[in-house]
Amino acid sequence: MELVKNPEIAHRFPDLHPAMDARAAVVEANRCLNCFDAPCMGACPTHIDVPGFIRKIATGNVAGSATTILDANVLGASCARVCPVQVLCEGACVLHGKHQKPIEIGRLQRFATESFYDAGGRLTLRQRPERPERIACIGAGPASLSCAAELRQQGFQVRVIDRRTLPGGLNTYGVAEYKLRAADSLREVEMVRGLGVEFETRDIDAISLASLEREFNAIFLGVGLGAMHRLDIAGADTEGAGLIAEARIIDALKFIAAYKSGAPLSVGRRVVVVGAGNTAIDAACAAKRLGADTVTIVYRRQRENISAFDFEYDHALREGVEFVWSTLPTAIAATNNALTLTCVTVSQDANGQLAPQSGSEFTLDCDTVIPAIGQSPLLDLLSQVRGITMERGRVVINRATGQTANPKYFAGGDCVNGGREVVDAVADGKRAAHGIAAWLTAQPPTHPEVPLG
Amino acid sequence: MADLTTNFAGIHSPNPFWLASAPPTNTGEQVMRAFDAGWGGAVWKTIGEPITNVSSRYSSIDWNAQRMMGLNNVELISDRPIEVNLREITEVKRRYPRHAVIASLMVESTREAWHQIVKRTEDAGADGLELNFGCPHGMSERGMGAAVGQVPEYTQRITEWVKEVARTPVLVKLTPNVTDIRVIARAARRAGADGLSAINTINSITGIDLSTFAPRPNVDGKSSHGGYCGPAVKPIALNMVQQVMADDVDGPSIPLSGIGGIGNWQDAAEFLLLGCTSVQVCTAVMHYGYRIVQEMIDGLSNWMDANGFATISDLRGKSLAKVTEWKHLNLNYKIVAQIDEALCIGCQLCHIACWDGAHQCIHVDRVSGPGGAKGPINGHVEVHAKPREMGRERIVTTPIPKLDPPRQHIGPYATSLERIPRVDETECVGCNLCSLVCPVDDCITMVERPTGLPPQTWAERSEGSECAPP
């Protein structure tokens, strides 16, 4: 897939949160109390010096502000757009304690980084000697980009390897377009490339792993997760088989990647999304914007059990997405020009156990079914990495250094945490870079962090 | 409702709120609109031989995204002919006989010139005269304005000339651009002035354009020092007002019209409490228009009612007795900071302010930190290290709803105990700094800790001592 500029997508997916103009940014920046040991900074997985960059906006030092942000978080521009700030920096803002609106940290961060990039600003390398050690980062998503950038900042030679044509991982292919445009993600990748990071597109298997081990001093696994789970019900494998063009089954990530890549895409009139996580909501809202009349999210448990953030749920309601609770799809059948999703109502006991209720079967007629029930780990690949430990499908690491059971391998991001936010991957990558640097130079890490009590 | 009527050395006005001599009182049309809006009096934009102004005249200081904390100007006196100004004064007084119209005057420093302008102005119907001995820019280069007001002998002589012919009350407007404003005030009193007004604007350069390197306001690439006014100058004005009103050298004080950064009723009340009989306003009107006087009248009146003041004279000067010299302050009075944990929002500004800017007695140590902080310890701190930023020392991840436990919260207060600073009273000197930086009202209060010692001032303590100051 290549990124194709599609004006229709730009039109249908305008920014969810408008950019701030310079004056508004200065006014907002001046509301900041400039807390000491600020809770917003503590709540940010990458520990951006939030009061510091806000103070620089207030004093007209936008380049300095962006540098403060990017120094701590090289993907500060995309994090400004995609972070669930309500549960991170803005959620921690002390102004809540005064019953005031928290500082709009996300929008201020976006103002600083985008103003900086728009004015031609680039990441600058710290003053340091070049080092001979070579590190391979597998996967070109946020974790690897962050790890690679920090390693370059410390003088190491870094290559990022990804199977996909476009780097950036889920930042490029998987984030709702009204939050982050693919082009913005690619611009950030170019900034990292500008630090001297090499990028390579190829698949990794056991043989290539062996050669990488010989060629590189350390390897960072930032491979993320694999394909989405398939619906394990009758008829769910009928994707593309005998269905008419507009009636189909497509998993949420493929669906999002397709429209974000600018591919011509039509969506059925009636769309059912299965699952109620953040990706499900991204897909549901996208379907709505792409022209679906009705979009229904079907979820087997109740509202209070969904893994999506509250603000995402509220956003889906505003976009006109409907929710059907306590409902489990049991079969999909292709009928004339459409799909019929058979469902059953399920009850939930005190222990959270689900039980289908007999006689509660009903059907939903629709044109598109979008399963969004989580991604499976990349077990095929990870099982070929010698000496690492896996637990529940996740790579086990030392949290402070990112190091796996095989000391040559470090890891971070979704393949370690099972699927969290961009900023978590960036923080993992940065910590791993410190860990790798410390391991290669046999020094204690320069930024030791301890797990939260 | 309180009676706001004012009698300033025989000049009567329905309230103590006068417009200062400045652009808002440039024309009769403006002054009449101001009276309609509620202003009690107006000091006319200084009348004299018409001048030519420069283009680009004002500049300002913004503070924390708020406009015009301070305003500076290089504008001169009225650029309109004397006879036009006087004709309009007559018209205004005819239409508004109950309002005070005071003519601000500035002419060349000859007896004849002053006699002539005083007579013409009084013939026009002005209720009083204000001698502009304060304008700090332009006019002073021509031997007028502050050039007069900075020399007591000149101030006295010209005031005497005016008093030789004046039939209405004469106010001398004082410049703050002197070492001791009382010396000039005494000269005016000696000359028989009926009242004073203070302060005029303060010499200033408001700032420099960092792209052109030219100071503001920019007049074709250059600037000149201008007169500073607005909220920023109020503390300076209050101090000078107090100095003048508390001064009894060469005779008792005379009525003072307070000027300097007054923008609301609270400001006005402060000037009145320090002895002013009326107040004059300019910058706030230049910012928001004449309408602001309504809030000033209403606010002052309500405050007077709430405090049992029936008239302005009931409250005038009430704070004067509460200002003294440092040597008369009680050395045995001790207060310490007290943090209301229930109100604390955990910004820790008090902690860092005390640590870096005061006496290192506010600590963040209620909970042992991850790095091994031991919890509360009292006593003198001498650690050559910067205060800990524990937030940066922790690995945190985005909390996923229903999956991750809520953030660790310690203690019974809305703010987690680990973020609530603690005052070590054994080291607190009662400086107030923490309570000043605290963004929450009433969260940090300064409470008295009786020392058990009788009050004692420095004057008393050093009495008879060999090292006593002279």
Q: What is the CATH number of the domain that holds A384?
A: 3.50.50.60
In 3D space, the residue among A194, A11, A168 whose CA is nearest the CA of residue A82 turns out to be A168
**Cβ neighbours of B64 in A, within 8 Å:** 30, 58
A35·B346 Cβ contact <8 A:
yes
**Cβ neighbours of B402 in A, within 8 Å:** 304-307
Tell me: do A366 and A408 sit in the same domain: no
Residue ranges of chain B that CATH labels 3.30.70.20: 326-470
Side-chain half-sphere exposure of A392, counting CA atoms within 13 A: 5
Question: Touching check for B405 and chain A: CB below 8 Å?
Answer: no
> How many Å from the N-terminal Cα to the C-terminal Cα in chain B?
51
For B6-322, CATH number?
3.20.20.70
In 3D space, the residue among A23, A19, A112 whose CA is nearest the CA of residue A66 turns out to be A112
On the question of a cis peptide bond just before residue B208, with omega within 30 degrees of 0, the verdict is no
B/e letters for A157-175, b = 16+ CB within 10 Å, e = fewer, are bbbbbbebebbbbbbbbbb
Give me the torsion for CA of B180, B184, B189, B194, rounded to 10°.
Answer: -110
3-state secondary structure of B100: strand
Q: Does A12 reside within a domain? A: no
B/e letters for B23-38, b = 16+ CB within 10 Å, e = fewer, are bbbbbbebbbebbeeb
Question: Touching check for A120 and chain B: CB below 8 Å?
Answer: no
Q: What angle do CA B21, B301, B304 make, to 5 degrees?
A: 115
Q: In whole angstroms, what is the distance from residue A146 CA to residue A128 CA?
A: 18
- Nearest CB to B396: which of A26, A38, A42? A42
Q: Does A2 reside within a domain? A: no
| Strand ranges inside A190-326, DSSP E | 198-201, 218-221, 248-249, 270-274, 294-298, 322-324
Residue ranges of chain B that CATH labels 3.20.20.70: 6-322
Phi–psi pair at B11, nearest 5 degrees: -90, 120
Question: Any residues with CB less than 8 A from the CB of A197 and at least 6 apart, and which?
Answer: A148, A149, A152, A158, A159, A160
A450·B400 Cβ contact <8 A:
no
**Cβ neighbours of B398 in A, within 8 Å:** 45, 83-84, 87-88, 420-421, 423-424
Tell me: do A188 and A284 sit in the same domain: no
Query: Across-strand partners of A327?
Result: A345
Q: Does A191 reside within a domain? A: yes
Question: Any residues with CB less than 8 A from the CB of B325 and at least 6 apart, and which?
Answer: none
Instruction: State both tokens at A162.
Output: 């990804």
pLDDT at A245: 45
Q: In whole angstroms, what is the distance from residue A347 CA to residue B28 CA?
A: 83
**Cβ neighbours of B399 in A, within 8 Å:** 87
Domain boundary pick from A69, A87, A118: A118
pLDDT at B369: 59
Handedness of CA B413, B416, B421, B425 (dihedral sign): positive
One-letter amino acid for residue B332 of the chain = N
Residue of B nearest to A402 (CA): B395
pLDDT above 90 (res B367): no
Q: Does A446 reside within a domain? A: no
Strand B41-47 relative to strand B17-19, pairing: parallel
Question: Touching check for B363 and chain A: CB below 8 Å?
Answer: no
Q: In whole angstroms, what is the distance from residue A138 CA to residue A153 CA?
A: 19
**Cβ neighbours of B396 in A, within 8 Å:** 42-45, 452
Average pLDDT of every residue of chain B: 94
pLDDT < 70 positions in chain A = 1-2, 238-247, 264, 443-453
Q: In whole angstroms, what is the distance from residue B223 CA to residue B213 CA?
A: 11
Classify A193 in phi/psi space as left (phi over 0), alpha (psi -120 to 50) or beta. Answer: alpha
What is the CB neighbour count within 10 angstroms for residue B60? 23
pLDDT-derived band of residue B218, with 50, 70 and 90 as boundaries?
Answer: very high
Instruction: State both tokens at A410.
Output: 């470090």
Tell me: do A255 and A363 sit in the same domain: yes
pLDDT above 60 (res B44): yes
Tell me: do A300 and A326 sit in the same domain: yes
Tell me: do A357 and A388 sit in the same domain: no
pLDDT at A102: 98
A33·B349 Cβ contact <8 A:
yes
pLDDT above 90 (res B136): no
Instruction: State both tokens at B457.
Output: 């001032």
Q: Which CATH class is domain B326-470?
A: alpha beta
Q: Please give the C-alpha separations between residue A145 and each of A227, A388, A425, B178, in angstroms, as whole numbers.
A: 21, 22, 9, 64
In 3D space, the residue among B122, B108, B196 whose CA is nearest the CA of residue B164 turns out to be B122
B135, B276, B428, B443: the active-site residue? B135
The region of weakest confidence among A51-60, A172-181, B398-407, B426-435 is B398-407
Domain boundary pick from A83, A118, A153: A118
Chains A & B: contacts with CB separation below 8 Å: 115
Q: What angle do CA A194, A198, A200 make, to 5 degrees?
A: 130
Q: What angle do CA A300, A302, A305 make, to 5 degrees?
A: 95
Q: In whole angstroms, what is the distance from residue B179 CA to residue A86 CA?
A: 56
Q: Please give the C-alpha separations between residue A262 and each of A2, A184, A256, A269, in angstroms, as whole numbers.
A: 8, 14, 10, 20
Is B428 known to be catalytic?
no
Q: Does A9 reside within a domain? A: no
pLDDT digits (tens, 9 = 90+) for B440-453: 999 999 999 999 99
Question: Touching check for A301 and chain B: CB below 8 Å?
Answer: no
Q: Does A298 reside within a domain? A: yes
Q: In whole angstroms, what is the distance from residue A299 CA to residue A274 CA?
A: 6
Question: Touching check for A33 and chain B: CB below 8 Å?
Answer: yes
Distance in Å, alpha carbon of A394 to nearest chain B alpha carbon:
16
State the DSSP H helix or E strand holding residue A135, giving kind and residue range, or none if neither: strand A134-138
Tell me: do A258 and A362 sit in the same domain: yes
Give me the torsion for CA of A216, A218, A222, A226, rounded to 10°.
Answer: 70
- What are all long-range contacts of B122-125, with beta carbons under 8 Å and residues at least 24 apart? B122/B166, B122/B167, B122/B168, B123/B86, B124/B86, B124/B87, B124/B89, B124/B90, B124/B93, B125/B89, B125/B90, B125/B93, B125/B94, B125/B101
In 3D space, the residue among B67, B102, B93 whose CA is nearest the CA of residue B194 turns out to be B102
Domain count within chain A:
3
Q: In whole angstroms, what is the distance from residue B350 CA to residue B347 CA?
A: 8
Instruction: State both tokens at B209.
Output: 């354009």
CATH number of A113's domain: 1.10.1060.10
- Nearest CB to A453: which of B403, B408, B415? B408
**Cβ neighbours of A308 in B, within 8 Å:** 401
Q: In whole angstroms, what is the distance from residue A426 CA to residue B317 CA?
A: 64
Tell me: do A165 and A273 sit in the same domain: no
Instruction: State both tokens at A95.
Output: 């102004």
Distance in Å, alpha carbon of A87 to nearest chain B alpha carbon:
7
Question: Touching check for B370 and chain A: CB below 8 Å?
Answer: yes
Instruction: State both tokens at A399.
Output: 């949290």
Percent share of chain B, pLDDT over 70 = 97
- What are all long-range contacts of B283-289, with beta carbons under 8 Å and residues at least 24 apart? B283/B68, B283/B71, B283/B229, B283/B230, B283/B231, B284/B230, B285/B19, B285/B24, B285/B34, B286/B22, B286/B23, B286/B24, B286/B71, B287/B67, B287/B68, B287/B263, B289/B37
Residue of B nearest to A94 (CA): B345
pLDDT at A443: 66
Q: Does A82 reside within a domain? A: yes
Domain that holds residue A154: 134-226+376-441
Domain boundary pick from A93, A118, A143: A118
Strand B444-448 relative to strand B335-339, pairing: antiparallel
Burial class (CB in 10 A: 0-12, 13-18, 19+), A331: middle
Q: What is B45-58 written as a DSSP string?
A: EEESS---PPS--E
Q: Are B241 and B177 in contact (CB under 8 A)?
A: no
Question: Any residues with CB less than 8 A from the CB of A137 and at least 6 apart, and which?
Answer: A144, A145, A147, A148, A158, A159, A160, A161, A219, A220, A222
Phi–psi pair at A289, nearest 5 degrees: -70, -25
pLDDT above 90 (res B404): no
3-state secondary structure of A366: strand
A452·B408 Cβ contact <8 A:
yes
In 3D space, the residue among A39, A30, A88 whose CA is nearest the CA of residue A424 turns out to be A88
3-state secondary structure of A15: coil
A58·B64 Cβ contact <8 A:
yes
pLDDT above 60 (res B370): no
Q: Does A181 reside within a domain? A: yes
